Amino acid sequence: MNFTEKTLKSELIYNGKIMDVYCDDVEISTGRKTKREVVKKPNAVAVVALKNADTILMIKQYRYPVEETMLELPAGKMDDGEQPLETAKRELAEETGYVSNNWKSLGFIYTSPGFCDEKIFLFLVTDLKYTEAKPDEGEIIECCEYSLKEVFEMIKENQINDSKTIAGLQRCILEGAIKL
């Protein structure tokens, strides 16, 4: 079965600071024509930062779109021309103050592929050394330390609902980096 779709026309309908929205005319494999709304965003990274075998760094911050203070992995968007690992190192240092030379890629996820092209690259980092946190201007965050048991309990109790955080931790379990 052919699942591909052919773009016939793509129109930018919103140009924003962190995203653009397009309305595309497409032809699906049956020949039928339809429309697709697509949000285009810069790619991003998320970092599972383990201080030791049982302690993880998390970021607490208010997320305006959902009107909640969320607990998440350190994360951020990639700058133009920046490679995922460069972004991960930069974001970890900015948000937590920690640096390391011991990085492992955990692959990537698409955040909402039904309407958005954003890809988040996931990383595991260990052997952390503290320098100094330097959050971006306008970023009000708190770096917190939790035991892995606490974090997984908060996920179970629906207190952590951030998809990149849950996916990053799941990838660590699959890689054998986290033992439950």
Is residue 5 among the annotated active site residues?
Answer: no
CA proximity to 76, closest of 66, 67, 68, 86? 86
What are the beta bridge partners of residue 105? Answer: 123
Give the integer Cα–Cα distance in Å for 149 and 9.
50
The dihedral built from the CA positions of residue 155, 173, 112 and 64, taken in this order, carries a sign that is positive
Active-site pick, 67, 132, 137, 157: 137
Question: What tokens were used for 28?
Answer: 């699906």
The three-class DSSP label of residue 9 is strand
Residues acting as catalytic residues: 137
